[in-house]
Amino acid sequence: SQTIHQWPATLVQPVGSPLSLECTVEGTSNPNLYWYRQAAGRGLQLLFYSVGIGQISSEVPQNLSASRPQDRQFILSSKKLLLSDSGFYLCAWSPFYSTEAFFGQGTRLTVV
């Protein structure tokens, strides 16, 4: 069966510090991968999605970047965090032939 791992669960970082959130998927090949951000009490904002290694589509111009160094690994990064980067970050995957998504448990990022 397929599983998705996202870590860490919570993170407190100072303004101006770098960020690296990692997400890995097991039990499937060539998945579509997604990073979403959710503000408190709000919907999900699609940040990045990837249909293959090295293929990243950015949905929102911002302080963040994403990379997919391996088929089942998706990384969200920032060189210098802003206060506005605080939020709940969710990684998800879907089969390459579908958009039915399976989510990780999320990372709550607080920038202080």
Q: How far is the CB of 106 from another protein (least distance, A)?
A: 5
Q: Say how far apart CA 86 and CA 59 lie, in whole Å.
A: 18
> Closer CB to another protein, residue 41 or residue 69?
41
**Three-point CA angle 47, 63, 35, nearest 5°:** 20
**Phi and psi, residue 96, nearest 5°:** -60, -25
Q: Which residues lie near another protein (CB under 8 A)?
A: 6, 32, 34, 36, 41-46, 49, 51, 57, 59, 88, 90, 92, 94, 96, 99-106, 108
Q: How far is the CB of 18 from another protein (least distance, A)?
A: 24
Nearest to 67 by CA among 76, 59, 78, 57: 76
> Closer CB to another protein, residue 71 or residue 88?
88
Q: How far is the CB of 43 from another protein (least distance, A)?
A: 4
Q: How far is the CB of 70 from another protein (least distance, A)?
A: 19
Q: Is 55 left (phi over 0), alpha (psi -120 to 50) or beta?
A: beta
Cβ proximity of 38 and 45 under 8 Å: yes
> Closer CB to another protein, residue 17 or residue 84?
84
